[in-house]
Amino acid sequence: MLVSDLFSQALNGLSYGVLLFLLSVGLTLIFGMLDVVNLAHGSFYMLGAYAGLTTIALTGNFWLALLAAPLAVGLVGAAMERLVLRPLYRRPPLDQVLLTFGFIYLFEDVVKAIWGGRIRSIRPPDVFASSVSLFGATVPSYRLFVIVFGLAVALLLWLLIERTRLGAVIRASVFDAEMTAGMGINTNLVFTGVFAFGAALGGLSGVIAGPIQSASPPMGATILVPALIVVVVGGLGSLKGSFVGSLLIGQAETFGKAWLPGASMVIIYVVMALVVLLRPQGLFGRPLR
C-alpha cells in the first residue's frame, strides 16, 4: 500500500470520525443531562439534512443552511422535550427511550411526506467544490473543511462547558438537578435548552454530511447505529469519550472497508464488543453499577 493511499484513507476516516463526533456529542450531552438515550437523534440528523436542502433550494447559500437547519431542528427538539418528554421524567427511563423510538417512525414518515422518498444530495459550497493535492493524494477540499470545522466545534464545545458560567450551570444540573434548582437556577429551562442544543448539533451534522453522504428518509435510522456504537465505545455522557470514540470508529470503518472488504460491516461491531468486554462503561465512561 502506497503512503499516499494510506494518507487519503486516514483523512477519509478522520472526516467521517469528525462527522460522527458532531452527531454523537449531541446524543451524549442529552444523555448526560436527562439520563435518556434519545433514539430519535438520528432523526435530528435527517431533519437537519432536509432543512439544509430546502434552505439551499430557496437561497442557494450553503452557509445559510449551516445556520438555519440547526436552528430549525433545535426548535423541533425543544418542542419535543417540552411537550412529550417532560411529562415522563418521573417515569422509568425506559418509557422515555420507547417514546424517542416512536419518534424515529414519526420523523421518517413526515420527511417522506414533505420531501418524497428519493435520494438527494447537497452540493458542497463553491469554495470547497474542488480537490487539492496533499502528499501525493487527491483530497476533496470539502473533506478538509469538514475536519477543520468539526475540530473547531469540538474546541468551542469544550470551552463552553468547561470555561463559561453557562457550562458550569449545565454541569451542575447534570450532577444534581434538585440541588441546582435549590440554588435558584431554572433547571427546567436548562433541560429544554440542552435538549434543543443537542438536537441542533444533530441537525448541524446532517447539513455537514449532506455533500458527503446523500440524503434519504432512512438515513436517520441508519446513522443512529454508528452513533450509538461511538457512545458505547467512548462512554455515555462523556464529551471526551464521544470525541475519542468517534475518531476511533471513523478510522476502523474506513480502514476496514479498504483492507477487509468482506468483513467491513462487522468491524465496528467487533470494536464495540471488545470495549464492552474489557471496559463495559466505555473508554471514558463513569463506572457502571
Partner 1 sequence: MRLRLLALGLAIIAVALFPRAAGGYPVKLLQEILIWGIFAMSLDLLMGFAGMVSFGHAAFFGVGGYAAALALGAWGPGLGAGLALPAIAAAVVALVIGYFSIRVSGVYFIMLTLAFSQMFYAYAFQTAWLGAEDGLVGVPRPTVLGLDLAQPTAFHLYLLACAVLASLALWRIVRSPFGHVLVGIRENEARMRAVGYAVDRYKLVAFVIAGAIAGVSGALYTQFVGSITPDAFLWTTSGEALLMVIIGGTGTLGGAILGSAAFILLQSLVSSYTERWMLLLGVTFIVFVLFAPGGIVGTLRGRIGLRA
Angle, nearest 10°, between helix axes 62-80 and 41-59? 140
Among 58, 63, 102, 259, binds partner 1 (CB under 8 A): 102
For residues 63 and 128, is the Cβ–Cβ distance under 8 A? Answer: no
Which residues face 147 on adjacent strands?
Answer: none
**Cβ closest to partner 1, residue 156 vs residue 273:** 273
Closest separation in Å from C-beta 151 to partner 1: 26
Task: State yes or no: residue 88 binds partner 1 (CB under 8 A).
Answer: yes
Among 45, 50, 62, 103, binds partner 1 (CB under 8 A): 103
| Burial of 182 from C-beta contacts in 10 A (0-12 / 13-18 / 19+) | exposed
How many whole angstroms separate alpha carbon 107 and alpha carbon 104? 5
Task: State yes or no: residue 95 binds partner 1 (CB under 8 A).
Answer: yes
For residues 27 and 39, is the Cβ–Cβ distance under 8 A? Answer: no
| Nearest alpha-carbon partner for 253 in 7, 20, 4 | 20
DSSP structure class, residue 236? T
Strands (E) in 72-129, as ranges, are none
Q: Of all helices (H) and strands (E), which one includes residue 136?
A: none
Measured in whole angstroms, how far is the alpha carbon of residue 123 from the centre of its chain? 21
Q: Of all helices (H) and strands (E), which one includes residue 6?
A: helix 3-34
Task: State yes or no: residue 108 binds partner 1 (CB under 8 A).
Answer: yes
Task: State yes or no: residue 106 binds partner 1 (CB under 8 A).
Answer: yes
Closest separation in Å from C-beta 98 to partner 1: 5
Q: Which residues contact 262 (CB under 8 A, 6 or more apart)?
A: none
Total of chain residues touching partner 1, rule CB under 8 A: 45
Q: Tell me the C-alpha to C-alpha distance, in Å, between residue 92 and each of 85, 97, 113, 206, 237.
A: 12, 9, 33, 31, 19
Task: State yes or no: residue 283 binds partner 1 (CB under 8 A).
Answer: no
Closest separation in Å from C-beta 162 to partner 1: 25
Task: State yes or no: residue 98 binds partner 1 (CB under 8 A).
Answer: yes
Task: State yes or no: residue 157 binds partner 1 (CB under 8 A).
Answer: no
Closest separation in Å from C-beta 110 to partner 1: 7
Q: Which residues contact 4 (CB under 8 A, 6 or more apart)?
A: 135, 136, 137
The SS3 of residue 282 is coil
- For the segment 11-50, give every residue that binds partner 1 (CB under 8 A): 31, 35-37, 39
Among 134, 221, 258, 283, binds partner 1 (CB under 8 A): 221
**Cβ closest to partner 1, residue 231 vs residue 239:** 231
Task: State yes or no: residue 63 binds partner 1 (CB under 8 A).
Answer: no
Task: State yes or no: residue 119 binds partner 1 (CB under 8 A).
Answer: no
Question: Which window, 12-20, 55-63, 88-96, 204-212, contacts partner 1 (CB under 8 A)?
Answer: 88-96
How many whole angstroms separate alpha carbon 104 and alpha carbon 220? 8
Task: State yes or no: residue 259 binds partner 1 (CB under 8 A).
Answer: no
Task: State yes or no: residue 286 binds partner 1 (CB under 8 A).
Answer: no
Task: State yes or no: residue 110 binds partner 1 (CB under 8 A).
Answer: yes
Which residues in this chain contact partner 1 in the complex, by CB under 8 A? 31, 35-37, 39, 84, 87-88, 91, 93-95, 97-99, 101-110, 112-113, 221, 224-225, 228-229, 231-232, 236, 265-266, 269, 272-273, 276-277, 280, 288-289
